[in-house]
Amino acid sequence: MTKSRRHPIRALLVSTAVVPLGYWLAMVAEATAHGVRFGVVRALRELMIISAFGGPTALAMAVLWGAPIVYVLIRMGALRMTTVVVAGAAGGALVSLLFAEIQRGGLFRVRMPLPLAIALGALAGGAWWLAGGARVVRGDARGASGRASSPAEE
């Protein structure tokens, strides 16, 4: 019996929520490594600020980059966790390059190093997958595209 459990909206919301959280954790870790001390209230305030600006950016990338890539992967029959994570990492790299270009000469800059952006994109792709973006119940002989893996299974 073929049965798939997909929750694309939940996957989209979870994957866009983990990006600001991951960025915040990275910035807190970097600040702590450099000896910066701050309390819980300041750390939570920073999380709110990062979420206010990073959330819409992550959502825009999920809609403009992630959704079309997932659609193409489904149509090609190549929807796997690894391909989604790699596509997310590529989207993260794109964000880093766009930030660098857009903020050139700007007064206030958002730090988005390329390795961090790639890691956040991969995190978003993995979160999308794990949140139910593309889960196929075990025992399913068909791939994410709904086609049989071999002619004998048709």
Strand partners, 135: 5
CA distance 96 to 10: 25
> Of 17, 89, 26, nearest to 51 (Cα)?
17
Where are the chain's structural domains? 4-137
Query: What percent of the chain is predicted at pLDDT more than 90?
Result: 56
State both tokens at 141: 């002989």
Model pLDDT, residue 38: 84
List per-residue pLDDT tens for the chain, 154 residues long.
344 557 878 888 899 999 999 999 999 999 999 999 888 999 999 999 999 999 999 999 999 999 999 899 989 988 899 999 999 999 999 999 998 888 888 777 788 899 999 999 999 999 999 987 665 444 444 455 555 444 444 4
Instruction: Give phi and psi for 133, each to the nearest 5.
Output: -65, -35
Under DSSP, the state recorded for 148 is B
Q: Are 78 and 146 in contact (CB under 8 A)?
A: no
Under DSSP, the state recorded for 142 is B
CA distance 58 to 112: 13
Predicted TM-score of the model (pTM)? 0.79
